[in-house]
Structure 1
Amino acid sequence: MAVFATAPFYLSTVMIAIGNFSTVAAGGFAVLFIAAFFFLFWLRSRSQKKRDSEK
């Protein structure tokens, strides 16, 4: 969680650095970052749902 709390602060800097090589790669990096954020919460919800159904 700490990574997702601090990473958006550096996201634009990283995107600019990647964008010097490829704008598509920079956009892909941003999409992957956002997808990873939602994936983390999706996994967390599955874990909680499984834990709640075992009770």
Structure 2
Amino acid sequence: MKDNRDAIIAAAFIIIGFGVIGYFMPRLVLAVGEFSTLAAGAIALLFVLGFFLIFWLRGIYQRRKNR
């Protein structure tokens, strides 16, 4: 029961964190896009990949922890 609660709390923090970053993402991409469209695209790509990477790494950690 405690493991489920910890997983839910961790996921909530991750989603809230990415939500806050995602809220400011359009401004950030537009600001960087004025200097380089390639850099702006890279920032957007890193944001999306980072979201999945965090949960993937958390899954690996949980599998090792549960052995």
Q: Normalising TM by the smaller chain, what interval?
A: 0.7 to 0.9
TM-score by length of 2: 0.72
CA RMSD across the alignment: 1.0
Aligned to 1:7: 21
Distance, in Å, in 1 between the alignment partners of 2:25 and 2:41 is 11
Structure 2 alignment gaps of length 5 or more: 1-13
* Count of residue pairs brought into register by the alignment: 53
Structure 1 unaligned segments of length 5 or more: list them. Answer: none
Distance 1:29 1:42 in 2: 20
Identity across aligned pairs (percent)?
36
Q: Distance in 1 between matches of 2:59 and 2:41?
A: 27
The CA deviation at 1:5 is 2.2
Q: Which runs of 4+ in 1 moved over 2 A?
A: none
- Which residue matches 2:30? 16
